[in-house]
Amino acid sequence: MAVDIVVYHNPECGTSRNVVGLIRNAGIEPHIVEYLKTPPARALLVQLVERAGIRPRDLLREKGTPYAELGLDDMSLSDEALLDAMMAHPILINRPLVVSPLGVKLCRPSEAVLDILPEAQRGAFTKEDGERVDAAAGQRIPSA
């Protein structure tokens, strides 16, 4: 049975690459959207935020973005203003955001994707930093 998984992905991000690897380790080839090249439409971004059960502020990325320059740390800013900023500067959208038949989730840390994968891992997975994820439990394997 084919499973449709969509990953809003930045190939420069290690966490995002690890999430894609974990999805593939479950035998699923995800549909990858490089959101910096093809940002989601505003209506879709709103829908993804709602389906993930988060607020726009929860999806904001600070590191390596114009977050501070735009004054996005101002807690009085409305959700609409934050969405406006993300539409104007897609780098502000945190990643990876994953859509599966089991839900939508911002997958940080990368193991969070295991909560919404409809298929089990096919074997142990080693993240780019060398940390291992147990296939059966979806848990980090402590280093020896």
3-class DSSP string for 63-124: CCCCCCCCCCCCCCCCHHHHHHHHHHCHHHECCCEEEECCEEEECCCHHHHHHHCCCCCCCC
Q: What number of residues does the chain have?
A: 144
107 is catalytic: no
DSSP run (H or E) holding 22: helix 14-25
- Cα gap 118→141, rounded to integer Å: 22
80 Cβ contact list (under 8 Å, min separation 6): none
Candidates 3, 6, 13, 81; catalytic one: 13
Active site residues: 13
